């Protein structure tokens, strides 16, 4: 994630993937300003509602504004309809906001993911407002390394536990080769029951189990 608008490279690695019992989203923690590591505990994973998560790659300020906006809209939708916002509605709302600013854009790439009555969904959104669903998505400067892991290891019908392990493995690989990614991993598992963010201790246990440390 970048702290300067002159640097358009999205210095971040995020990932979202669908599982048979929910979705997993994950990011690392590093924010860069050119070649400077500006922050080591940057929030790039946001809980929007109990059923929706958001990851961000791009400018810190833009990401924070968009996360606050989507969270407010999800709360309003819940109050009005007495039901959580569907994932396609959240993705479409973000797409419209991004498209409306495409000539003076928010310099971000987003993953909107979650669970609703129609199933489990992961959407990739670009700065111009494009919104594309897929089984798995990765964004940011470390994404080529993550895609290498996902293409080899992703399987349809994985459990959330297996998906969380795969997300940690993929981010670990990216952090070994992408200088703009690092300083820890955030993971959230979203199911029909809960939005569960893993602790640092749980992430470290998974890394040890997979012999990544």
Q: Rg for the chain (alpha carbons), in Å?
A: 16
Q: How many CA atoms lie within 13 A of 135 on its CB side?
A: 12
| Interatomic CA distance for residues 47 and 39, integer angstroms | 21
Nearest C-alpha neighbor of 192 from the set 93, 106, 116, 101: 116
Contact 101, 68 (CB under 8 A): no
Task: Look at the block and give the residue holding tokens 């358009």.
Answer: 8
Known active-site residue 12: yes
- CA–CA separation, 178 and 93 (whole Å): 31
Position of tokens 């999205």? 10
- Write down the catalytic residue from 12, 27, 55, 138: 12
Burial of residue 118 (CB within 10 Å: 0-12, 13-18, 19+) is exposed
Residue whose entry in the numeric block shows the structure tokens 């971000």: 108
- For residue 151, count CB atoms less than 10 angstroms from its CB and return exposed for 0-12, middle for 13-18, buried for 19 or more: exposed
Residues with a known catalytic role: 12
């Amino acid at each position: 994630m970048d702290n300067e608008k002159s640097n358009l490279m999205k210095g971040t690695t995020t990932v979202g993937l669908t599982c048979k019992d929910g979705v997993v989203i994950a990011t690392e923690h590093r924010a860069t300003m050119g070649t400077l590591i500006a922050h080591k505990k940057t929030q790039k994973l946001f809980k929007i509602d109990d059923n929706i998560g958001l990851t961000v790659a791009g400018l810190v300020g833009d990401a924070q504004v968009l996360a606050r906006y989507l969270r407010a809209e999800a709360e309003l939708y819940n109050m009005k309809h007495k039901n959580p916002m569907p994932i396609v509605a959240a993705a479409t709302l973000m797409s419209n906001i991004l498209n409306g600013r495409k000539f003076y854009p928010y310099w971000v790439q987003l993953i909107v993911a979650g669970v609703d009555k129609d199933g489990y969904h992961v959407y990739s959104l670009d700065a111009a407002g494009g919104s594309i669903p897929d089984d798995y998505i990765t964004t940011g400067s470390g994404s080529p390394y993550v895609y290498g892991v996902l293409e080899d290891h992703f399987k349809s019908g994985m459990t959330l536990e297996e998906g969380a392990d795969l997300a940690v493995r993929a981010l670990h690989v990216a952090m070994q080769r992408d200088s703009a990614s690092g300083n820890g991993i955030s993971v959230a598992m979203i199911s029909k029951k809960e939005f569960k963010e893993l602790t640092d201790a749980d992430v470290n246990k998974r890394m040890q189990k997979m012999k990544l440390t």
